[in-house]
Structures are given as C-alpha cells and as structure tokens.
C-alpha cells in the first residue's frame, strides 16, 4: 500500500471523505466477539475502511442481510475438480468462497515445477484468490514412478515466492516420523524461509504422532474420528474438517468441536468435483452442515474464515474489520448460507449465484503431451499366479480406504488368473506413463462390481499413471490405447468399442471445458458405468478407481511397481 492509498483509507475510515462503496444496513458477523453488529460497511479501494454510519460514492442497500467474511477453503486440490483454476474459481465464488489454499501436487507429479507454474499463472485469470502450497512429495512415495522429482534442492527457489505459503501435505509421514535424511532436508527448506508445513497422517497416534508434530507439522486433514482430531489438536496442530466428493468426515468430526477447541478447526473440501459444487455448493454447504449438527453459526463462520486466515498467516483477511481486504459475503440468513452477493478485494464478484467478472484463460500448451508409455501391449496385462488364494484389494464403501483380503480365485492351466463372472473380483492394472519404463503392474480388485468391458483413467493418485480395470484383457488394452490417443482423461470400453470418454488435455488431469460440461460428461459416464458395465451402484466409478493406486492411504494399493501393503510400507506377492 502506497502512502496516498493509506491516507485515503484512513480518511474514509474517519468519515472525512466518502467511501468508494458502502454496503448499507448490514448485520455484520463479528468473528472476534462472536456477535452481530448492525451498521454500514465502508469500502476504500480493495480494503474495508470501517463499520458504522457511512456515505459512499456508490451505495448498496443490504436490507438487513448478514455480512460475513469471505470463506476460505483451507485445503483443496484444483486438479481433482477436473477443471482449470479459472473455471474452479467461476464455480466456487458464487457460493461465498473468496480464497482457497491449493496444493497442486497432482499436476506437479505429472509435470513438475512446469505444472506448478501453469497453475499459478492460470489462477491470475479469476477473482478467486488462490494461495499455493509447494508440493512436498513428488513422487508421492518411493514405490512408484512419477513425472518429476522435486527434492529439497529443487524446492529452494519456489518456496521463496510470496504466493506460496509453505509445503503441501507431507504424505510421507513415515519419513518424517523416522527422521529420514532427505525428508529432513525438505522440512528445513520451509523452516529456513519461515513457512508452514501441511500435514497428512492417517491413523498416526501416540509416540509416532508426537514425532510428526515435533517437526512442526502445522495441520492435518486426514482425521476420520473425534479421537484422532482431539489428539492432533492436543499436539498443537490445526485440524481441517473435510467434506468433499470423495471423503465425508465433517459430520463425524463436528461431534468433537467444543467451545475450547473450535478455534483450531478449519473447513476444507480436499477433492471436489463440479457435480458436488453445482448440486450442493462449496463451503456454504459445510456451513449448513455445521449448523444442522448444532454448531453455533458464528463459530461455523469462524472455521470458514478467521481460523483459516490465522492458521495460514493470511493477516489481511478472515474478518470484517478496518484495514483488511474487502472479502465479504452477503447472506439472507445463518441457516442455509446462500450467498446473495460476494465481494472480493472490494469488487462485486458474484450476485445471486452468478459469477460477475471477466475470466482470462491461460494457455495450456505447457501441460499437454504428458504420455510417455513404452511398449504397452495386451500381453502385459496377463496375471501369473501360482496359488488359488490371492491377496485382493477390497474396496470399502464410502471412501478411499481399502482392505487387504485373501480370496479364492480361478486359474488357467498356464497359472493365469481367470475371470469368473459369478465372483466380484477383476483385474486392475497400473501402466507407467511418465518415464518410458514399460512398467505394468497387475493385481486383483474386489467390490468394484464391473461385469462388462473396461474403464481406464489417467487420473490415478498421486503419481497419475494410467489405471485400468476390466473383465478381459482385450477391452483393458483397448481402453489404455484409446486413453493415450486422446491425451488422457477417462475412457469406458465394451467389446473394443468406446462407449464414452472425457478428454483431459491439461496434464491428463483436467478438462479445458466448463464445469457444467464436465458435470454432464461425468453424469453420462456414471450412467454408462452402472447401466452397461454393471459397476456396483454403491461405487462412484471414477473417483473410486483413481484412488486405488494411492500408496499412502491404507490398507492395500497398486502402483506401477507392484501390489503395495500400506500398513507394512512394502510390496507383497499376489499369492496369499
């Protein structure tokens, strides 16, 4: 802020000159006192000048609406929305979201720092203020091949960028807990710059959690029980209460929110598809859930604004007070939290559910052409097994956690797995797509329910190799080949014919189309998956499959290097 701007702000605040804009007759949510203040809000340029009685060059009558601070999503992956940063901004701003803390580790695992740079440049094209975390785990684990390696040395320059708040979720929690030398180097890169470190520690407790917290891991969004939440808060961590398209932990965790610990609780979506946003909303839906579960509305708003701002050191936002950014949401009531108007940095960015400002789309060419698959063939999908008992990945309903199960299977005379249509066990394969290794790992999946054809994706957390599941090798191979030809995305196949597909030209992770287009495509994909391929109706066919290679979420997953037991952090044989 220049001297003249500061003088103008103070003069407006003091009532000596008119404000640029006054929002008249508000019920201002005071997140500091937990109270409501009736009055006007005076805006000067992009800042709030004061609350009280003001005159402005422009005036808007709120007619008694509640004015809340702009909502802050404390942890989200833009890539998991399947749309570009510009398009995600267009979707969420009308729901009152004015800031998000984004971790681009998906695109970084495909494109490295080139992917991070694309995201940061693209995010300038929309009013939503996107703050970035520097991906901490590229590759996500040592047990798979990614498209890049971001080590401590590579991190040293980008961590200095003032748009990067710190290190993204540290998924290699065993490396932290065991004080792995290369992990310590990464942690120190952030510490030397005075920047925070996001956490990821599912199931970690006791001394192991103490070790994780001792590294000053700042947050965790992987809590699924009140006990996990309370233990992390007691160790000085912020807990991010998650409600997204894949994981639904908010309702359960709200049982543990009290008057004593609520200020250590934040709201986040983590992974959120357009369908969720278009049908249910974003943080406005989180707030509705909070109130429905008995949380005081102002406490809920604190979790969606002030708490997040304080957690991430965003000293210029999080409340409606003089001198902060004019990020303001006008609400009819504090029950359904429907945003009537949304102001970002003093500009009216949305009104009555519609985004109001211009959008500039950034060139995506730097992220295209991210498929380097060596000598793939149908023969690589054969699964040799020398026992009638196999270790199987068993999908557990409602999330991304799997169970290791021992199952009886059929074999051919050549000791190859035989698909039995009466048993819900099929092949799943991960095809390496970044380094031309030629790696193809094959395992068995239970609970997906597919009875016809195959599904292939280039979205496969976190290294985003190709993942394919199907009832026969011909359809699986065809699906992989078609996926490569279209530059990534989703392909559904039956009898070597493409039934439906959705190209994702941005790193094979995101569409360059609108959120509505993506939603319509996904809706049709789900319909075909359930009705024609007969995938289990209780299973979300895309998001479920894309997490079957995530080797940091228990209990058993598949990477391009083999079947991985997350509880042991080691590869295991297919034979049980």
3-state secondary structure labels for all residues of 83-146? CCHHHHHHHHHHHCEEEEEECCHHHHHHHCHHHHHHHHHHHHHCCCEEEEEECCCECCCCCCCC
Distance CA 303, CA 556 (A): 34
CATH 1.10.940.10 applies to domain 3-64: no
- Express each pLDDT in 394-453 by its tens digit: 998 766 789 999 999 999 999 999 999 999 999 999 999 999 999 999 999 999 999 999
- pLDDT in the model for residue 384: 94
Burial of 393 (0-12, 13-18, 19+ CB in 10 A): buried
The two tokens of residue 514 are 């609108």
- pLDDT in the model for residue 224: 92
Burial of 442 (0-12, 13-18, 19+ CB in 10 A): buried
Q: How many CB atoms lie within 10 A of CB 414?
A: 7
- pLDDT in the model for residue 247: 84
- Express each pLDDT in 469-497 by its tens digit: 999 999 999 999 999 999 999 999 999 99
Q: How many CB atoms lie within 10 A of CB 17?
A: 16
426 CB-near residues (< 8 Å, 6+ apart): 419, 444, 445, 448, 450, 469, 470, 471
- Express each pLDDT in 141-197 by its tens digit: 889 999 999 999 999 999 999 999 999 999 889 899 999 999 999 999 999 999 999
- pLDDT in the model for residue 400: 77
357: which DSSP letter?
S
Distance CA 326, CA 353 (A): 19
- pLDDT in the model for residue 465: 97
- Express each pLDDT in 21-34 by its tens digit: 999 999 999 999 99
Q: In what order do the strands lie in the sheet with 238-242?
A: 219-220, 238-242, 265-268
Query: In this predicted structure, which of 56-70, 181-195, 309-323, 536-550 has the lowest mean pLDDT?
Result: 536-550
Confidence class for position 346, pLDDT limits 50, 70, 90: very high
- Express each pLDDT in 188-199 by its tens digit: 999 999 999 999
- pLDDT in the model for residue 399: 64
Mean pLDDT of the chain: 96
Residue ranges of the chain assigned to CATH 2.30.40.10: 3-64
Distance CA 293, CA 252 (A): 10
Average pLDDT over residues 348-368: 96
Asked if residue 131 lies in contact with residue 100, where contact means CB atoms within 8 angstroms, the answer is yes
- pLDDT in the model for residue 398: 67
73-317+356-366 CATH: 3.20.20.140
Size of the chain, expressed as the number of residues it contains: 576
Residue ranges of the chain assigned to CATH 3.20.20.140: 73-317+356-366
Distance CA 441, CA 179 (A): 30
Does the pLDDT of residue 533 top 70, yes or no?
Answer: yes
3-state secondary structure of 34: coil
Distance CA 438, CA 495 (A): 25
3-state secondary structure of 448: coil
Does the pLDDT of residue 206 top 90, yes or no?
Answer: yes
- Express each pLDDT in 492-511 by its tens digit: 999 999 999 999 999 999 99
For tokens 């267009």, name the residue.
90
Distance CA 30, CA 35 (A): 5
Closest CA to 445 of 539, 338, 352: 539
Average pLDDT over residues 303-307: 98
The two tokens of residue 56 are 């402005």
Distance CA 476, CA 479 (A): 5
Q: In this structure, what are the phi and psi dihedrals at residue 233, rounded to the nearest 5 degrees?
A: -60, -40
């Amino acid at each position: 802020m220049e001297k003249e701007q500061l003088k103008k702000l103070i003069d407006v605040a003091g009532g000596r000159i008119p404000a640029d804009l006054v929002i008249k007759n508000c019920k201002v949510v005071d997140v500091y006192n937990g109270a409501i203040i009736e009055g006007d809000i005076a805006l000067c340029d992009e800042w709030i000048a004061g609350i009280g009685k003001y005159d402005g060059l422009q005036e808007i009558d709120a007619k008694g609406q509640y004015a809340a601070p702009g909502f802050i999503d404390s942890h989200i992956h833009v890539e998991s929305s399947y749309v570009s940063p510009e398009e995600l901004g267009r979707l969420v701003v009308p729901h009152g979201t004015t800031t998000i803390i984004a971790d681009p580790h998906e695109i970084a695992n495909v494109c490295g720092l080139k992917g991070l740079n694309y995201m940061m440049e693209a995010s300038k094209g929309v009013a939503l203020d996107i703050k970035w975390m520097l991906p901490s785990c590229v590759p996500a684990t040592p047990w798979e091949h990614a498209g890049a390696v971001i080590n401590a040395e590579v991190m040293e320059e980008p961590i200095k960028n003032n748009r990067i708040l710190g290190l993204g979720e540290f998924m290699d929690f065993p490396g932290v807990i065991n004080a792995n030398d290369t992990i310590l180097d990464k942690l120190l890169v952030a510490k030397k710059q005075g920047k925070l470190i996001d956490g990821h520690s599912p199931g970690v407790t006791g001394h192991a959690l103490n070790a994780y917290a001792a590294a000053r891991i700042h947050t965790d969004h992987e809590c699924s029980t009140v006990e996990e939440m309370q233990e992390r808060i007691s160790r000085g961590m912020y807990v991010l209460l998650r409600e997204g398209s894949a994981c639904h932990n908010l309702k359960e965790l709200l049982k543990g929110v009290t008057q004593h610990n609520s200020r250590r609780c934040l709201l986040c979506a983590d992974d959120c598809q357009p369908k969720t946003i278009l049908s249910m909303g974003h943080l406005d839906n989180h707030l509705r859930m909070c109130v429905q579960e008995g949380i005081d509305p102002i406490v809920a708003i604190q979790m969606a604004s002030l708490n997040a701002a304080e957690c991430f050191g965003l000293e210029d936002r999080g409340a409606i007070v003089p001198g902060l950014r004019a990020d303001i949401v006008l609400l009819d009531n504090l029950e359904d939290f429907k945003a009537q108007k949304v102001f970002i940095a003093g500009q009216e960015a949305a009104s009555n559910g519609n985004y109001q400002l211009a959008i500039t789309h950034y060139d995506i060419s730097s992220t295209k052409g991210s498929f380097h698959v060596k000598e793939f063939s149908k023969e690589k999908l054969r699964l040799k097994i020398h026992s009638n008992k196999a270790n199987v990945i068993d999908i557990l309903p409602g999330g991304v956690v799997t169970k290791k199960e021992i199952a009886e299977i059929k074999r051919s005379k050549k000791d190859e797995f035989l698909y039995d249509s009466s048993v819900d066990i099929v092949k799943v394969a991960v095809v390496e797509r970044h380094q031309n290794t030629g790696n193809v790992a094959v395992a068995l999946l239970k609970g997906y329910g597919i009875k016809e054809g195959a599904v292939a994706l280039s979205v496969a957390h976190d290294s985003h190799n190709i993942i394919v599941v199907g009832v026969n090798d011909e359809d699986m191979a065809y699906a992989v080949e078609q996926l490569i030809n279209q530059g990534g995305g989703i392909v559904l196949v039956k009898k070597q014919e493409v039934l439906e597909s959705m190209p994702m030209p941005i790193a094979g992770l995101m569409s360059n189309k609108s959120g509505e287009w993506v939603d319509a495509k996904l809706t049709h994909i789900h319909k075909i998956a359930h009705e024609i391929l007969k995938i289990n109706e209780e299973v979300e066919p895309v998001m479920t499959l894309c997490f079957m290679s995530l080797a940091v979420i228990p209990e058993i997953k598949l990477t391009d290097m083999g079947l991985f037991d997350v509880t042991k952090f080691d590869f295991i044989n297919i034979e049980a």
